[in-house]
Amino acid sequence: MSFFKRLLSPTYRRALEAEARGDHDGAARAYALAGEREKVAEMNLLRAEASTTRKDEVDALRAACQWAAATTEAGRKARRRLADALRALAAAAAVPGEPSRLHWKEAAALFAEIGLHGEEGECLEALGEDAAASRAFGAAGLIERMEQALARDEQRDRKGRRLREAFDEYQLAMAAGDRELALSALRLCIELSDSKGDYRRLCEELEARRIASGVVKVTVSRGEAAGAQQPVTVVGLTTVRIGREPAAELPLRGNGVSRWHAEVVWKPAAGDGQGGQGSQGGAGGWWVRDAGSRNGTRIAGARIEGELPVVGEGSFELGDDSEIMWHEAGGVLRLEVRRGMDRGRVLVAGVGRAIQLPDGAAHVRFRDGRPYLELGEGTAVRLNGGRTGAVVQLVRGDVVEAAGYRYQVAGDGVSR
């Protein structure tokens, strides 16, 4: 619009009057109606200067950018100020997150639009986008900063590859039943990852399922009997505690049973780190003793005083209500409740040796309190639905299937 046409335009005159009064908002609207784009941008720049909040300032600067091209003085000034404001907002964020990332991105784009590539590179650095930052620094002629950004980008790539390899190792170890290796791989993922949440959750879930107490409950079933069998408690400890206490290895209900009623303990043979071939001659093996119960522990009706060897087959009574049968062979002890409220409950124990399960085909061996299910080499084994090897470290909730048998590990905290 020419100078004289402007003077004759009522809209333009209203814009001039509003500007003279300091009504920059009204002036911007009037200049917009008059088609004066740069004047609209100038009024919004003045609005931004008068703003009392960062939000109002940013809104005014955005409006200025919309009305003036980046090639004009007003447009360049608006973009520079908006980029600086967004950068300040992002840097001041108490908790860095998606809003601050968007501010950094927009600021970088604005700096790039007006050719301030050094500032663009700084914004991209804050985003962790080092490859793009190196290009921006290169465009700005900042060679040293470009090389630093490239070095960080290469380091991040190496770290990303290590993270992917560690997670692949975790998945392979879980499929193979090697839970200790899986935990080690997850801990490495936590160490390498910038966003640790998912890896930490997987690690906590696996640690919660892990068994390191020397006790595991396994239900062994076959065919139609699946789910109908009682679980077998498998123990790799030197002491099997029996009583009403739920924490006992063999917990029993009954009025005549004390909280801690009796114990069966393993004593290794002389010169044998974990035991010989049973307790023949009293030199080693399993021994039963009363644990200070109210109603006593008896063998063949006689109350036990001190300790008695548990060899071959036999039984002992806990008070008048409960009777437990034992079978001992090769250092492996089987206890079965034959009388009482928990009739049919079975416990098998062995220290430093393979403990055969009732199916006769699988064994459990403890290493540092952790149970490993051992199946015959060449046996097709499935762990939680996927194929796996012949040795599986058991954790709570596991289901192992092999040779027609199903081995289910208690998942309710009983397998301590």
- pLDDT tens digit sequence for 346-396: 999 999 999 999 877 899 999 999 999 999 888 899 999 999 999 999 999
Task: In whole angstroms, give the CA distance from residue 398 to residue 385.
Answer: 10
Contact 365, 355 (CB under 8 A): yes
Q: Block means of pLDDT (10 residues each) for the chain, length 416 residues?
A: 60 90 93 92 94 93 95 95 95 82 96 97 95 96 96 95 97 96 97 93 97 95 68 96 96 93 91 50 78 94 93 94 94 95 95 89 94 91 95 96 92 54
Query: Under CATH, which number does the domain 211-234+352-416 receive?
Result: 2.60.200.20
Q: What angle do CA 156, 109, 78 make, to 5 degrees?
A: 145
What confidence score (pLDDT) does residue 291 get? 96
Contact 269, 323 (CB under 8 A): no
Provide CATH 2.60.200.20 ranges for the chain. 211-234+352-416
- 3-state secondary structure at position 284: coil
Q: What is the pTM of this model?
A: 0.71
What confidence score (pLDDT) does residue 376 get? 84
Task: In whole angstroms, give the CA distance from residue 221 to residue 357.
Answer: 11
Task: In whole angstroms, give the CA distance from residue 80 to residue 102.
Answer: 17
Range 116-125, long-range pairs (CB < 8 A, 24+ positions): 116/80, 116/83, 116/140, 118/142, 118/145, 119/83, 119/87, 121/145, 121/146, 121/149, 123/83, 123/87, 125/149
The structure tokens listed for 213 are: 């107490």
What confidence score (pLDDT) does residue 69 get? 94
Task: Give me the phi and psi of 10, to 5 degrees please.
Answer: -60, -35
Q: Other CB atoms closer than 10 Å to residue 360's CB: what's the count?
A: 9
What confidence score (pLDDT) does residue 225 get? 55
Quote the radius of gyration of the chain (alpha carbons, Å). 39
